[in-house]
A and B are shown apart, each in its own frame.
Chain A
Amino acid sequence: MITEQGVKDLLSTSGYIADDTIATAVFLALRMEKPILIEGPPGVGKTGLAKALSSALDFPLVRLQCYEGIDEGKALYDWEYGKQLLYTQLLRTQLDTYLSVSADLREAVERLSAEESLFFSKNFLVQRPILRSFMSEKRSLLLIDEIDRSDDEFEALLLECLSDFQVSIPELGVIEAKRKPLTILTSNGTRMISDALRRRCLYLYIGYPELEREVAIVRVKFPEICDTLARQMVEFLRKTRELNLRKPPSVSEALDWAQVISILKATKLTPEVVANTVGVIAKHQTDLQKVTDLALQELS
């Protein structure tokens, strides 16, 4: 039986340094079979957690990227009209012979409608991500990414899937998940998610990590960067986050920066190094100046 510490260790094998809250949330989600709703600023590893979990637990990752206007045809299932049409065309001769025995039109219709279910079978069903993860023989990891980009209607559509792990298809009836997938929803908070959806999930807020954890994250991904340099970088980034930038650098920026620094083979953080690589941390023109100023002030 897996424990919270076990979750932590598992995640760290796939390069994700989790804190206690994250580990507990994942542990609970696995045990209670409830979805996790993760909120937090962009780039703190919300999607990264899902990916790391999928590789660590060996659950196949099924990803559904949300966008405005996404509907059940894109998320749950769709009928393959083209294939249905093609089959009727190809089977025309068989149909003709099959129906030719019938005495009149009424009987022909009856005969045909008896076979109707042929054309609305799983054969002609296109599985979209959610249904695919439900039908998977192995327990899968369903990642519903950036749920805040979708519309209210889509959120309502998810309610049935997330609370009961089933999909209702009018022609086929209710399809229940073979193995309940570990479900992770992420949101950047651009829109308020409805309470109904929140209620069905465990709520996990991932903020910017503490100093030690961020250093560890950088060190895990880029072992060639020595501990003192990593610490210096992270401390500097933490100060830039307090600058009230338009887009404060998050963990993903920290990793990008670490990569750049390791390519440049810098051994120490100096104002020049920061000035040369500032484009990796700051993503707005006004922010660039603020960061270089901070570097001059702090590092010289």
Chain B
Amino acid sequence: MERIIAGFVAALRESGIRVSPGESLDAVQALGICGMEGRRSSRQLLRLTLVKNVNDIPIFNEVFNRYFSRYKFFDPDMNVPELMDAAIVSMEGEFNYLDQLPGDDHDDNGPLLKLDSDINPEDLAELKSLTEIDPDDMDGIEIVVQMKGYRGKAKKAPRPTRRYTQNPLTIELNKSNSTQMGITFTPEEQIAMQDVVSRMMLRLRKDMKRMKNNQSRGKLHVIKTIQKNYRHDMVPFQVALRRKRREKPRLVVLCDVSFSVSHASRFMLLLLHTLHNQMLDVRSFIFNREVAEITEMLANMPVNDLMETIDTGDIVDLDENSSFGQVFLAFKKRYLENLRGRPAFIILGDARNNYDEANDWVLDEIREKARYMLWLTPEDRDTWSRGDCLMELYGSYCDKVEVVKTVEDLSMVVEELLRDIYADQAEPIDKKRLRDAKAAETYDSRDYYTRGGSSEPAAFDPSGRSHW
């Protein structure tokens, strides 16, 4: 039984489920306790002990069916040793079969297999998944894909798609995340985005928390400390510290929604929408020739509805040529004054100004207001100075210009930005620490009150008491 379980665990691992040795031991133990009475109950036992995530359950079921359909294990009439031998023999047979498998088969069946990216060589050996994909079905899928492309567009005449072929970004995004040139996101896309974001959040959370904790630790809160220790006869067993008020990092996003970069900006909006309220205070704007704020809408509307609204051109007219110069001017007039704090700016666009006035001096003013300015463009560097592209000019005002082509790129860039922002906020404390550390090196009792090199007396520091 151990060998069978070990083999099954290996099959699970190959399908991407992480199973630790301890869990396989649990599975063996569980089977020992409950016995292998039937397929159903054995599957339950294995699932309870081996799978530790809801999302893995469908994969587990699939692997279970595939793995245990090879031999009839749970026939009550057969005795166990016989079963074991049969299993081992058939497993070995399986491996031999794998070895004999000619590699050419892959190429022959290429198009069929590409539909399902999760297929691994074991599946090929089974040849089962091949029969499952019926050629007739494939037509069905293709038709659905094509239909989806026109969903929601019916009200308007289809726009020229010439740009799609020019623009690497849209193609890449389509390849990796969407099967349609659509307006709205499919559930899979949203799940994929959730996935990207949750992975990113996991990576970020720990670092953020550490930084946050360092920052929020403040001075002694005298009144609260006295209150807290009243029952201890005022002996300060428990110390209450002041909490520093901490704000979420602010982010202002300007997204070009003109046809040339629409896909990228939509994914950007979705990404920020998912991030919003978790650790960011985002104000989002979209623009083409005019600029409009969509923060409220992003927060209150389902994403798909919003995307459709944007696409109808009700918020900003999409039929005009985009003009970055005009947009910057309008943004300065209408919004720049009432932006609170020092937000980080992200501008997403291809900087194709359609030979309009550049108005790049506005960017200079925005830069003054901003903590950080980042420009994301879908175009490669060598096209930046071609035609009406003003990337070189605009880029000179930005802290950074990044080329993003896929959702992964996008999330990487945003993650880096978030780290930067948090690190930026943590900096003042670190500097003070550094100064204190330096002062401590040249410690002299005479200048105790003026240590740190500053003229003002050192602040009361509860943690410093132990040094007295």
Residue B22 interfacial (CB < 8 Å)? yes
| Cβ B30 vs Cβ A32 within 8 A | yes
| Cβ B53 vs Cβ A21 within 8 A | no
CA distance A129 to B173 in the complex (A): 51
Residue B66 interfacial (CB < 8 Å)? no
Most buried by A among B22, B47, B205: B47
Q: How large is the interface on B (under 10, 10 to 19, 20 to 34, 35 or more residues)?
A: 20 to 34
Closest to A39 in B: B54
Residue A119 interfacial (CB < 8 Å)? no
Residue B41 interfacial (CB < 8 Å)? yes
| Residue from B22, B23, B40, B48 in contact with A28 in the complex, judged by beta carbons closer than 8 Å | B48
| Cβ B23 vs Cβ A24 within 8 A | no
Residues of A within 8 A of B30 (CB): 28, 32
Residue B154 interfacial (CB < 8 Å)? no
State whether A205 and B34 are in contact (beta carbons under 8 Å apart), knowing that A24-B48, A85-B235 are contacts in the complex: no
| Cβ A203 vs Cβ B48 within 8 A | yes
| Cβ A204 vs Cβ B48 within 8 A | yes
Residues of B within 8 A of A199 (CB): 20, 22-23, 52
Residue A236 interfacial (CB < 8 Å)? no
B209 to chain A, nearest CB (A): 8
Residues of B within 8 A of A34 (CB): 26
| Cβ A25 vs Cβ B231 within 8 A | no
| Cβ B29 vs Cβ A32 within 8 A | yes
Closest to A25 in B: B48
Chain A 161-177 near chain B by CB (<8 Å), digits 1 or 0: 00000000000000000
| Cβ A20 vs Cβ B52 within 8 A | no
| Cβ B54 vs Cβ A24 within 8 A | no
8 A Cβ contacts from A1-44 to B: 4, 20-21, 24-25, 27-28, 31-32, 34, 37, 39
Residues of B within 8 A of A205 (CB): 54, 57
Residues of B within 8 A of A82 (CB): 231-232
Q: How large is the interface on A (under 10, 10 to 19, 20 to 34, 35 or more residues)?
A: 20 to 34
State whether A192 and B232 are in contact (beta carbons under 8 Å apart), knowing that A20-B44, A32-B30, A205-B57 are contacts in the complex: no
| Cβ A4 vs Cβ B52 within 8 A | no
Closest to A89 in B: B233
A208 to chain B, nearest CB (A): 13
| Cβ A198 vs Cβ B53 within 8 A | yes
| Cβ B52 vs Cβ A198 within 8 A | yes
Residue A120 interfacial (CB < 8 Å)? no
Residue B468 interfacial (CB < 8 Å)? no
Q: Which residues of B come within 8 Å of A, CB atoms?
A: 18, 20, 22-23, 26, 29-30, 33-34, 40-41, 44-45, 47-49, 51-54, 57, 198, 202, 205-206, 209, 231-233, 235, 237-238
A21-B44, A21-B48, A152-B206 given; 14 more Cβ-contact pairs under 8 Å: A4-B34, A20-B40, A24-B41, A31-B33, A34-B26, A82-B232, A192-B202, A198-B52, A199-B52, A201-B52, A202-B49, A203-B47, A203-B49, A203-B52
